[in-house]
Chains A and B, each alone.
Chain A
Amino acid sequence: MAMTNPGNKVTQGQFSFLPDLTDEQITAQLKYAINNDWAVNVEYTDDPHPRNTYWEMYGQPMFDLKDPAGILMEINECRKTFPDMYIRVTAFDNTHGWEAPRMSYIVNRPPSEPGFKLHRQERDGRSMGYTIEPYATDKPEGERS
């Protein structure tokens, strides 16, 4: 892990192996989504487990916008409200046949990302079962960070 992911950063969604996107770069990506008529959502969570697909939505999904400034405003508000959480931006394509998110990338990370704990489970014979658990979710919901 340390070799391919030097900052020990959670790598989910687009651009996650890159340095964090600047606001300018985020704006350009938002513009790309707007030009494609995708609805953009801002979502947050404190549980970075890769199977956690249920992130909370911040505000309402944003349709019919012409300019990314409004979405950036929403992102910044979300950052202010939840500075210690993961925030991602999702662009949803509602055209028939797609009806799925077409873009998703992280725009905010907690200051420290403790990473994941690897659990080993000895099974019958000498076989092993493996699973991971984020350290970030050690505490119960509501008491984290």
Chain B
Amino acid sequence: MIIRWRCRPPPSSLNVSTLFKHEPLCVEDMSETENTDSDQELEMLPDDAPVDLQAEFERSQVQEVLDKLDRELVGLVPVKTRIKEIAALLLVDRLRRRFNLTSETPTLHMNFTGNPGTGKTTVALRMAEILHRLGYVREGHLVSVTRDDLVGQYIGHTAPKTKAVIKKAMGGVLFIDEAYYLYKPENERDYGGESIEILLQVMENHRDDLVVILAGYKDKMDKFFESNPGMRSRIAHHLDFPDYSAGELEQIADLMLKEQSYQLDDSARKALSEYIPLRMKMTHFANARSIRNALDRARLRQANRLFASRDRALKKEDLITLTEEDFRASRVFIDGKLDGDPADGILNSMPIQED
């Protein structure tokens, strides 16, 4: 957003304001810090001017974010398609504004549904970045909250709490995780409703300042929207995050390992690809999060293994390689139970839950 200080026109006759000739100057000094590079001025174009959508696209540097999304997020094809669609809409909208065509700020509030660990938070982060690049949010930061941050514990506590969160998120994206918890129909004295009401108001009146993204499990979010029709109608984009397939999970594991500078040897890779389908069938499976936990435990076992053979000289290779036994020791293999149970070998004393 560009904020321009209007200098006063020169006074036609001598009056009091000539005494303060320096004042526009002193105001301007303060505003100089305002011009961040994200502010791109939109110049108006005549009706017949040709516009280059490609150039506009490159200028917005959205491709970079989309590429990053492709690189860092495995699978999720429907979600990525939808994000590209939204980016296209915003881009075209920007061009339209340059011809002075009126179009209201599109409603950008979103709803992410999907099972745990399917990448909702990560996508929300990227979304904030995309919206920022396209100039639809001014700062592009993400404020991630849950019910506890919004709803108070006694009468009169909720409104200031919710408002404080909203103020923090202004100019960026407000991400409400497990949003269905906001509404608890079984308790009529619950203050969640108050919070929802304030949110609704802000979502309507401050569309330019704030984008709200709700996230949660599909069935629970559906129920939430059923009881809050106002919320449903204010959200334009409903994105469903599908579960990952075994192959995708393996790719995710690769990405995670690469990030942490680990590698798998061939036998370990085989063990991992056997582990994933087994784990997928068990309870409390949380997609990418379960994979991360499995890798964390493998690292733990690796460290233990290296420590047990500490009389031997270690090479860099040893420090970065996870081997078969690091995975095979998992209880998922041994007796088809989750790790972290009391009987689980070396992990006895360690409070690690498999989820």
Contacts and interface: CB of A to CB of B under 8 A. Distances in A.
A, B from the same assembly: yes
B161 to A, nearest CB: 10
B114 interface: no
Interface stretch (A46-54, A64-72, A107-115, A128-136): A64-72
Interface stretch (B30-38, B95-103, B104-112, B246-254): B30-38
Interface in B29-74: 30-31, 33-34
B190 interface: no
Given A65-B168, A70-B170, A27 B3 contact: yes
A32 B141 contact: no
B168 A31 contact: no
Contacts of A29: 30
Nearest to A74: B167
A111 to B, nearest CB: 22
Interface residues on A, range: 20 to 34
Given A4-B16, A66-B141, A67-B171, A32 B23 contact: no
B322 interface: no
Interface in A26-51: 27-29, 31-32, 35
Contact of A71 (B19, B138, B139, B167): B167
Interface string B165-194: 011101110000000000000000000000
B135 to A, nearest CB: 14
Given A6-B16, A17-B20, A60-B160, A66 B171 contact: yes
B206 interface: yes
Contacts of A18: 20, 23, 27
B172 A67 contact: yes
Interface of A: 3-4, 6, 15, 17-18, 24-25, 27-29, 31-32, 35, 59-60, 62, 64-71, 73-74
12 contacts: A24-B3, A27-B3, A28-B5, A32-B31, A35-B33, A62-B167, A66-B171, A67-B171, A68-B170, A73-B167, A73-B206, A74-B167
Interface of B: 3, 5, 16, 19-20, 23, 27, 30-31, 33-34, 138-139, 141, 160, 163-164, 166-168, 170-172, 206, 208-210
Q: Which 5 A-B pairs have the closest CB atoms?
A: A67-B171, A70-B167, A69-B209, A70-B170, A69-B170
